[in-house]
Amino acid sequence: MDTRTSTRLRQWAAGLLPLEAAVELLLRAFGGRFADPALPWVRLDGDVTWLDADALCEHAAVLSGGERRLLFVVASLLDERPLDVVDVVTGLDRENLHLVLAAFAHAGGSHTATVLDHVDGKVRFSTPGALIPWPDSRATGRSSSAPAAHT
């Protein structure tokens, strides 16, 4: 995967949770091959690299069922397209299903939630981490989002 393209896509999406989720999903699924700048949905405008949901949907039709489903999730996160979630989740393998669920959790802000706990008469704020964390790597299945506590 081209690190320059991934960095620029992440910069483009930064601060908008659904866009961040779409970019991460595209970069992590299928070894990142669908984030190749030669593909018609990866747009380069000067110093900005962005994703075109219309081009993604148009060209995804010729891909396999799992690839198409995952790319339709990316398009849905990019511009709020309607999505048949039942079709998506029943047509993905375990690894890609985990990525899609992590993308949904990220888009919903589960990784940014702050929890207020009362323990032993003390007020404690904590960030429990993502509901479904992004996996660190395919080989280990470890998550990249560890809970952090602040007192």
Distance CA 106, CA 129 (A): 10
Predicted local confidence at residue 129, as pLDDT:
76
pLDDT digits (tens, 9 = 90+) for 88-134: 999 999 999 999 999 999 999 887 767 777 777 787 777 777 888 89
Residue boundaries of the structural domains of the chain: 3-108
Predicted local confidence at residue 1, as pLDDT:
65
Query: Are 57 and 81 in contact, with CB atoms under 8 Å apart?
Result: yes
pLDDT digits (tens, 9 = 90+) for 44-91: 999 999 999 999 999 998 999 999 999 999 999 999 989 999 999 999
Nearest 5°: the CA angle 55, 28, 134 is 125
Predicted local confidence at residue 147, as pLDDT:
35
